[in-house]
Structure 1
Amino acid sequence: MNIMISNTSNLAIYEQIVEQIKDAIIKQEIKPDEPLPSIRSLARDLQISVITTSRSYEELEAEGLIYALPGKGFYVKPYKRELIKEKKLQLLEGQMSELIRQCKSANLSKEDMITMIHLLYDN
């Protein structure tokens, strides 16, 4: 698993970590019951605060995606991959709905939007 932090992202650093770990779980880069990097080592690798990495793990644990074993670290919960994928699809549907609304307000036809998607998707 390779986490990259972007200073130009609209997401907070802890949210970027959460999203990238979710993506790694969906893509099966991290398997169920596989350990995540320790909070301290992740903070060191990313050159960020331990508080930030701790918040990321707390968020993932609150969502039921990871679990902690005291003294051993954090692990991916089994069978949550499809749930994460469904949540991501819901988020994308909301974003696409907003994009469609904006395209309609700019008087773009469905065909114009589809053409734009094809051009951007292939880049």
Structure 2
Amino acid sequence: MNIIISNASKEPIYEQITKQIKNNILNEILKEGEALPSIRNLARELKISVITTKRAYEELERQEFIETIPGKGSYVAPQNKEMLREQKIKIVEDKLIDAIKEASIAGIGKEELKEMLDILYDSIL
């Protein structure tokens, strides 16, 4: 699993881990039932405290992204497809909000922004 920790980030390390694993699950890079590295192995790989890794896994379990089986390890939990879709929609909405703010700063109006979105959408799909 490829997790990148930034010491320059204002976000706590456990949140960086949680966010990246969650994104991997939402983007189906990590599949249902797939085993995650053990807490100790991930801590060793990232050169961080086991406590930090444990906190990230506990948060993911609380949010029902992973499930832990004592003595066996942690696995990607089955995902509710509708909930998964809603979470993806939320990610898109957040990115669109950022784009709208940037457009506003650049003096780009609503109609011009819609036109840009139409062109980009059509060129990608």
Q: TM-score range by the shorter chain?
A: 0.7 to 0.9
Identify if the C-alpha distance between structure 1 residues 20 and 84 changes in structure 2 by more than 3 Å, giving closer, same or farther. Answer: farther
- Structure 1 equivalent of residue 19 of structure 2: 19
From the superposition, tell whether residues 84 and 11 of structure 1 become closer, same or farther in structure 2 (CA, over 3 Å). farther
Match of 2:53, SS? helix
- Alignment correspondent of 2:52: 52
**TM-score where L is the length of structure 1:** 0.75
Gaps of 5+ in 1: 119-123
User: Aligned AA for 2:2?
Assistant: N
Per-residue Cα deviation, 1:56-109 (whole angstroms, up to 9, x for no partner): 111110111111101111111113466345324314414532552464366432
Where does structure 1 differ by over 6 angstroms across 4 or more consecutive aligned residues? Answer: none
Structure 2 residues not aligned, in runs of 5+ = 121-125
| TM-score calculated relative to the size of structure 2 | 0.74
Give the secondary-structure state (helix, strand or coil) at the position aligned to 2:89.
helix
* C-alpha distance in structure 2 between counterparts of 1:105 and 1:78, whole Å: 41
- Counterpart of 2:37 in 1: which secondary structure? coil
Partner of 1:72: 72
CA RMSD of superposed structures (Å): 2.8
> What is the alpha-carbon distance in structure 1 between the residues aligned to residue 21 and residue 64 of structure 2?
13
